[in-house]
Amino acid sequence: MLSHYTYFADISCLESLKWGKAPFTICGSMCGIISVIDRSGEPMNGSAIKNALSLMNERGNGEGAGYAVYGAYPDYADYYALHLFYDNLVEPKAIVEQELEKWGTIEVSEMIPTSEQPRLRREHIPWRYFYKPYPKSMGTAATEEDILIHIMNKINTEIPGALLFSTGKNIGIFKASGWPEDVAEFYRIQDYEGYQWLAHNRYPTNTSGWWGGAHPFNLLDWTVVHNGEITSYGTNRRYLESFGYKCTMYTDTEVVAYLTDLLARRHALPLELALKALAPPFWDEIDNMPENERQLNTTIRMAYGSALMNGPFAIVVANSEGIAGITDRIKLRPLVAAEAGERLYISSEEAAIRVMEQDLEHIWMPRAGEPVIGRVR
Amino acid sequence: MPIGSTPPKYRVRIDNDRCMLCEQCIENCPYGTFRKEGNKILVNSRACTGCHRCIAMCPRDAIDLEEKPVDYRSHPIWTREAREAIYNQARTGKIILAGMGNILEVPPIFDRLLLDACQVTNPSIDPLREPMELRTYIGKKPSKVEVATKPNGDIELLTHLAPNLKCETPIMIGHMSYGAISLNAQLSLARGAAAQGTFMGTGEGGLHKHLYPYQDHMIVQVASGRFGVDIDYLERGAAIEIKIGQGAKPGIGGHLPGEKVDESVSGTRMIPVSSDAISPAPHHDIYSIEDLAQLVRGLKEATEWKKPVFVKIAAVHNVAAIASGIARSSADAVVIDGFRGGTGAAPRVFRDHVGIPIEAAVAAVDEKLRHHGVRNEVSVIASGGIRDSADVTKTIALGADAVYIGTAALISLGCRVCGSCYRGLCPWGIATQRPDLVARLDPDIMWENVSNLINGWTLEIAELMGAAGINSIESLRGNRDRLRAYMLDENLMEVLDVKTVGAGA
Ligand code: SF4
Ligand code: SF4
């Protein structure tokens, strides 16, 4: 018998009714991600991660790939490194620079060096600024970060032909539509060095081949690479909007960055807890926890229900202090982690990690919703 | 009577070949439609209200019921209802009372909203095989959680939760008072709600002592008449609800005809036997939002801040701003009752013409609360015309935390929506206090109907969520991206913040 089901039929059984009984009814996107951190802060150049990402080409379709590197600009470590796509260098650039100068000073303005690739169609002109906002230019309460967020919203919603997609200090995001190796060659990724890398190979379903839609996605110190689809996007977006975030990238990934920013930066939750809020334990598990833990988890879930991310996902989220990998609550997307000395790897596939490092000491599959965190010492 | 009689509403006929003269119909009809003469059951069709009790009880299916056997000359403007209301008022010179919900002939917005499901790019989740969470907490939530990390690395929680109702399903039963409905009906509803781990409202009629065993699953109501309200009552409820207004009759108070006020109702309500219980339109101590905030705090103070306090308003034009004011008092939840909400008795013009649909009201309230940055701190309960689990799912996707059902719960007890509740003779033992009629509804049996209904809907919601790739109700709440509008106009789509069918992500 199908215990949960009933048939939609006429209620015609009179006997049961007659004798006062209740009338009874007759029962009868796939993507590839990889990330590495060197916990001693030792820089690594981009060639290894490029090879690792290309190994996962089956997980992409040549419509988007990207790299994030922390520690990219040691000479300008105190400046916000702004990466933009310009459609042309005439109108949008002048308006953007006018906006930037309103709130701070541009130290360096330059085209990001690229080299033409036969398979890659140059849709935009990648540009970068090293920028310092004036503290207090927005009033006493606004922080530098608030200024940057304002600028990002302004550029991305109001200035056609310009897209600001990288706003961290000492962080560089490099992305485009194309296969991982072509995007890497285009930006000459191997020339950059950093203690922490995130890379993403895309099989887009919701925003086709648009450069801005490629990952990694960055906001200030936060960077995200993401495999999956967030079915709670509408809920998360509306929640974030009530805190003044604007979701403008047409991708569900940006909500991960904003949610992490909200919880870990603005609400100052420890990263483990912030990630717990995004993929919390089930109520059944919470109900059976020891009292203190139960209280904590109940409070987090009740307060941050709208931050809970649903749907299949595997994510690596990073800031300058480290990287963290997490999957959805029932692990509908793969994620493996591995360690070799100071290095922690998080990836969709073990094979990709092995391209970067043959000598792994420890390799494991994190459980659903259980964060893997690597911090710089 | 110069106008003469209007055409009968129903025609009842007995098929004498089938009839076995068991007289069930005579016994069951409190309106005296049937009588026996010789070897025949005779019928007075004019007495019939269309309640179907006889049809349900006839063992031979010998009864035929036809609605509007003789109609007026058809006319698009001068409908039957319009004409008959005039005849009625020409005769009486009074306000026309009517029962059950709005009968305005416009399609519910619910029917123009379609839900989403997963295909390929994200897997749907199978609720028979994977956990599916519908638990809903109703009450104030902290806007942020504060913790301190101790030197040994342990995390200490600094934020304390306000009391919340823990519902195992987002479906609650709305307020239907003792008086308006029978004690047996209330008992069935309360036990059914308790069995499903959810809650029901007492209505404004006090709390009968037979309901005490279910008090942990009951929300006690404080309405403008203050019927039945004392400290004992407040302390017994799991939560307290201040009723400002009701969707079926915004802007006016309750109407309980004296015929329904027997000894027991009078005791529970604390009013004299047979007196009409007409609660005043406004609360006489609430003339502004500050006054409301004071009452909310007063009730909390009286119950030592242990009970969540809800405020219920009718969905009126400015519902969003009003709800926002309520949300910023110490209220824990705002209840919005849409214009399709049912009632035992309401003036016809109010029932059909005042207020707005719940779909638009929830969308507007959710938006406004978010705009003011308080949406997440307060719960939103929606009610008024919710007919099935799809309506519940859509209401939550539009932004509600939970729903109240009223009419649907009564239908699970046999109610046929005949709309004659105000006559106090409900043949199903629901909207009546006549002991022989009340006895027809055995709460020890009928609670299961209520429980089954909530259970069935809850399973369906779980299936709908799973199909949409969502395994926790929080991720459905306000997730308007998972709704599409089918033949709704652009303005309404803007209010609902829903895209048209055919529009992608
Ligand atoms: S209940 Fe049916 S069978 Fe019995 S007397 Fe009435 S019509 Fe005849
Ligand atoms: S409660 Fe009774 S009187 Fe009211 S509509 Fe339902 S069946 Fe008719």
DSSP-assigned beta bridge partners for residue B309: B240
The answer to whether residue B303 sits within a structural domain is yes
Same domain, B48 and B176: no
Which is it for the CA torsion A327, A332, A338, A343, positive or negative?
A: negative
Report residue B448's pLDDT band, with 50, 70 and 90 as the boundaries. Answer: very high
pLDDT surpasses 50 at B283? yes
**What's the gap in Å between the CA of B373 and the closest CA on chain A?**
5
Overall average pLDDT of the B166-173 stretch = 98
Q: Is A26 in CB contact (< 8 Å) with chain B?
A: no
How far apart, in whole angstroms, are the C-alpha atoms of residue B361 and residue B352?
17
DSSP 8-state assignment for residue B317: T
- What length does chain B have? 505
B315, amino acid identity: A
The answer to whether residue B138 sits within a structural domain is no
On whether the CB atoms of residues B333 and B238 are closer than 8 A, the answer is no
Tell me the longest C-alpha to C-alpha distance in chain A: 88
DSSP-assigned beta bridge partners for residue A313: A228
Tell me what percent of the residues of chain A surpass a pLDDT of 90: 59
pLDDT surpasses 70 at A13? no
pLDDT surpasses 60 at A27? no
Domain extent at residue B259: 165-500
Same domain, B336 and B444: yes
Q: Do A303 and B56 touch (CB under 8 A)?
A: no
Question: What is the model's pLDDT at position B313?
Answer: 95
Among B214, B231, B229, B170, which Cα is nearest to B391's?
A: B170
What is the distance in angstroms between the CA of the first residue and the CA of the last residue of chain A? 59
Same domain, B347 and B484: yes
Could you tell me the CA-to-CA distances from B204 to B255, B260, B299, B425, B480 in Å, in that order? 11, 14, 15, 21, 34
The angle at the Cα of A53, spanning A49 to A59, to the nearest 5 degrees, equals 165
Same domain, B54 and B176: no
How far apart, in whole angstroms, are the C-alpha atoms of residue A314 and residue A352?
15
Lowest-pLDDT range, A120-124, B119-123, B166-170, B308-312?
B119-123
- Give tens-digit pLDDT for A57-79: 777 777 789 999 999 999 999 99
How remote is the CA of residue B426 from the centroid of ligand 2, in Å?
5
Q: Which residue has the higher pLDDT, A161 or A202?
A: A161
User: What residues of A act catalytically?
Assistant: 31
Question: What is the model's pLDDT at position B4?
Answer: 86
Burial class of residue B335 (count of CB atoms within 10 Å of its CB; 0-12, 13-18, 19+):
buried
Which is it for the CA torsion A172, A178, A179, A185, positive or negative?
A: negative
Report residue A93's pLDDT band, with 50, 70 and 90 as the boundaries. Answer: very high
Same domain, B84 and B174: no
In this structure, the strands spanning B200-201 and B218-222 are parallel
B97: tokens are: 């009372």
DSSP 8-state assignment for residue A236: H
The answer to whether residue B158 sits within a structural domain is no
pLDDT surpasses 80 at A3? no
What domains does chain A contain, in order, with CATH numbers? 4-375 (3.60.20.10)
Contacts of B449 in chain A (CB under 8 A): 22
How far apart, in whole angstroms, are the C-alpha atoms of residue A49 and residue A36?
8
pLDDT surpasses 90 at A305? yes
DSSP 8-state assignment for residue B425: B
Up-side HSE of residue B419: CA atoms within 13 Å toward CB?
15
Report residue A7's pLDDT band, with 50, 70 and 90 as the boundaries. Answer: low
Residue B420 alpha carbon, nearest atom of ligand 2: 3
A151: tokens are: 């600028």
Question: What is the model's pLDDT at position B2?
Answer: 76
Contacts of A229 in chain B (CB under 8 A): 121-122, 469
Which pTM value belongs to this model?
A: 0.88
How far apart, in whole angstroms, are the C-alpha atoms of residue A171 and residue A71?
6
Question: What is the model's pLDDT at position A14?
Answer: 34
Question: What is the model's pLDDT at position A2?
Answer: 55
Same domain, B73 and B170: no
B172, amino acid identity: M
Question: What is the model's pLDDT at position B260?
Answer: 83
How far apart, in whole angstroms, are the C-alpha atoms of residue A369 and residue B213?
40
pLDDT surpasses 70 at A24? no
Domain termination site, one of B94, B114, B149: B94
Which residue among A18, A283, A310 places its CB closest to the CB of B470? Answer: A310
On whether the CB atoms of residues B26 and B392 are closer than 8 A, the answer is no
Question: What is the model's pLDDT at position A136?
Answer: 77
Question: What is the model's pLDDT at position B435?
Answer: 96
Domain count across chain B: 2
Q: Residue B76: which H helix or E strand, with range?
A: none
Contacts of B161 in chain A (CB under 8 A): 298-299, 302
Lowest-pLDDT range, A19-28, B113-122, B253-262, B467-476?
A19-28
Contact residues of ligand 1, CB 6 A cut-off? B 14, 19-25, 41, 58-60, 62-63
How far apart, in whole angstroms, are the C-alpha atoms of residue B329 and residue B370?
16
Overall average pLDDT of the A326-332 stretch = 89
The answer to whether residue B376 sits within a structural domain is yes
Contact residues of ligand 2, CB 6 A cut-off? B 51, 99-100, 410, 415-421, 426, 428, 430-431
Q: Residue B293: which H helix or E strand, with range?
A: helix B289-302
Lowest-pLDDT range, A134-138, B38-42, B106-110, B113-117?
A134-138
Residue B423 alpha carbon, nearest atom of ligand 2: 3
The answer to whether residue B3 sits within a structural domain is no
Same domain, B45 and B173: no
On whether the CB atoms of residues A176 and A209 are closer than 8 A, the answer is no
Contacts of A205 in chain B (CB under 8 A): 121
A36, amino acid identity: V
Question: What is the model's pLDDT at position B177?
Answer: 93
Question: What is the model's pLDDT at position B64?
Answer: 96
- The residue among A4, A231, A272 with the most chain B CBs within 10 A of its CB, best to mutate, is A231
Question: What is the model's pLDDT at position A6?
Answer: 59
Report residue A250's pLDDT band, with 50, 70 and 90 as the boundaries. Answer: low
**What's the gap in Å between the CA of B477 and the closest CA on chain A?**
6
- Give tens-digit pLDDT for B64-116: 999 999 999 999 999 999 999 999 999 999 999 887 778 888 889 999 999 99
Predicted ipTM? 0.87
At A37 the three-state DSSP class reads strand
Which residue among A229, A273, A305 places its CB closest to the CB of B155? Answer: A273
Overall average pLDDT of the B29-56 stretch = 96
Question: What is the model's pLDDT at position A15?
Answer: 33
Helical axes B358-371 vs B389-398, angle rounded to 10°? 30
- Give tens-digit pLDDT for B194-232: 999 999 999 988 999 999 999 999 999 998 888 889 999
The count of CB pairs under 8 A between chains A and B is 148
Could you tell me the CA-to-CA distances from B376 to A256, A271, B244, B284, B310 in Å, in that order? 18, 22, 23, 31, 15
What number of helices (H) and strands (E) belong to chain A? 11, 18
How far apart, in whole angstroms, are the C-alpha atoms of residue B175 and residue B457?
19
On whether the CB atoms of residues B334 and B402 are closer than 8 A, the answer is no
On whether the CB atoms of residues B430 and B186 are closer than 8 A, the answer is no
B195, amino acid identity: A
Report residue A142's pLDDT band, with 50, 70 and 90 as the boundaries. Answer: confident
How far apart, in whole angstroms, are the C-alpha atoms of residue A204 and residue A249?
14
How remote is the CA of residue B227 from the centroid of ligand 2, in Å?
23
Peptide bond before B142: cis, by omega within 30 degrees of 0?
no
Same domain, B194 and B336: yes
Same domain, B175 and B90: no
Q: Which residue has the tokens 């942990």?
A: B216
The answer to whether residue B102 sits within a structural domain is no
Lowest-pLDDT range, A5-9, A165-169, A241-245, B239-243?
A5-9
Nearest residue of chain A to residue B121 (CA atoms) = A29
Q: Do B478 and A239 touch (CB under 8 A)?
A: yes
Q: Which CATH number is B207's domain given? A: 3.20.20.70
Same domain, B179 and B34: no
Question: What is the model's pLDDT at position A139?
Answer: 74
A102: tokens are: 């309103």
Could you tell me the CA-to-CA distances from A186 to A50, A175, A224, A277 in Å, in that order? 12, 9, 21, 38
DSSP class per residue in A77-100: TTSEEEEEEES-SSHHHHHHHHHH
Question: What is the model's pLDDT at position B276?
Answer: 85
DSSP-assigned beta bridge partners for residue B467: none
Same domain, B191 and B294: yes
pLDDT surpasses 80 at A209? no
Question: What is the model's pLDDT at position A5?
Answer: 64
Q: Is A243 in CB contact (< 8 Å) with chain B?
A: yes
Question: What is the model's pLDDT at position B278?
Answer: 80
pLDDT surpasses 80 at B467? yes
Same domain, B86 and B179: no
At B255 the three-state DSSP class reads strand
Domain termination site, one of B94, B114, B133: B94
Which ligand lies nearest to the CA atom of residue B432 in the structure? 2
Q: Residue B486: which H helix or E strand, with range?
A: none
DSSP 8-state assignment for residue B443: H
pLDDT surpasses 70 at A22? no
Question: What is the model's pLDDT at position A30?
Answer: 66
On whether the CB atoms of residues A132 and A80 are closer than 8 A, the answer is yes
Q: What's the gap between Cα A253 and its chain centre?
A: 5
In this structure, the strands spanning A196-201 and A162-166 are unpaired
Q: Do A269 and B125 touch (CB under 8 A)?
A: no
Q: Which residue has the higher pLDDT, A239 or A61?
A: A239
- Give tens-digit pLDDT for B338-389: 999 888 788 889 999 999 999 999 999 999 999 999 999 999 999 999 999 9
A242, amino acid identity: S
Domain termination site, one of B62, B94, B126: B94
CB within 8 Å of chain B, chain A residues 277-306: 282-284, 292, 295-296, 298-306
Q: Which CATH number is B41's domain given? A: 3.30.70.20
Mean pLDDT of chain A: 86
Q: Is A16 in CB contact (< 8 Å) with chain B?
A: no
